[in-house]
Amino acid sequence: MKKYYPAFVDIEAQPCLLVGGGAIAEEKAGSLLECGGVVTVISPDLTDGLRDHADRGALRWLARSYESGDVRGFRLVISATNSTKVNERVYGDAEAEGIMVNVVDVPALCRYIVPSIVRQGDLCIAISTGGKSPALAKKIRRQLEGAYGPEYADLLDLLGAYRPRMKAAYPDETETRARLWTSLVDSDLLDLLRDGRAEEARDRVESCISHSSD
């Protein structure tokens, strides 16, 4: 059974090609743009949402059908058309050029698959079923969305803001830093943030770092 290597890919300022102009392509374009990709869409027609992106200059639209060789120069390719022939051509061209390619809902024509995602700020949880059941991945995503609310984004921002301070306080004490971070994560910080008591949460982190370094 094929095993996929899980990874988060930095596509900021990287050229990404999206073949197709329907609802699925619109969803994919939104994700690429959110992550900073420089998106080109090839399709004779677009959904209203994609057309709006194009009109605002958020992406480049080539209003025509896919042509062999169109993948050249791109770092990432997604094909989201309802034409098996076009999807196979896109995949074959990308393979020949050594470009990572995904044909939506056709695992056999994918060099990477896109997991279902739960996002809370910089927290990103990916769920994959190896392409076997997107419906199950979506169900698990909904469950996780209920378990990981916006307070997790707030906690991550808070802890991230204090990373330099923690490292400065314990520059050569890796185990001490790890112990303190663990104690903070296991504390009631999430409850404080969930209740809107952000100042109290900051004081808790401040106290933990300051008192432990005394």
Contacts of 11 (CB under 8 A, 6+ apart): 32, 35, 36, 37, 75, 76
Same domain, 52 and 64: yes
Same domain, 30 and 82: yes
CA nearest 137: which of 118, 110, 123, 152?
Answer: 118
The DSSP secondary-structure symbol of 121 reads T
Domain presence at residue 3: no
Where the chain has pLDDT below 50, the residues are: none
The DSSP secondary-structure symbol of 22 reads S
Identity (one letter) of the amino acid at 160? G
Give 85: exposed, middle or buried? Use CB within 10 Å, 0-12, 13-18, 19+: exposed
Domain presence at residue 21: yes
Same domain, 120 and 29: no
Q: Residue 60 sits in a domain of what CATH number? A: 3.40.50.720
Question: How high is the pLDDT of residue 131?
Answer: 83
Domain presence at residue 171: yes
Token pair belonging to 35: 């992550």
Rounded Cα distance, 42 and 49, in Å = 15
CA 108, distance to chain mean position in Å, is 22
Same domain, 130 and 201: no
Same domain, 23 and 58: yes
Q: What is the pTM of this model?
A: 0.84
For the chain, the domain total comes to 3
Same domain, 160 and 196: yes
Same domain, 22 and 49: yes
**Domain housing 80:** 15-114
Question: How high is the pLDDT of residue 210?
Answer: 85
Say if CB 44 and CB 53 are below 8 A apart.
no
Question: How high is the pLDDT of residue 134?
Answer: 87
Q: How far is CA 133 from CA 28, 105, 137, 157, in A?
A: 18, 10, 7, 33
Contacts of 74 (CB under 8 A, 6+ apart): 15, 16, 17, 40, 99
What is the three-class DSSP state of 29? Answer: helix
Question: How high is the pLDDT of residue 54?
Answer: 98
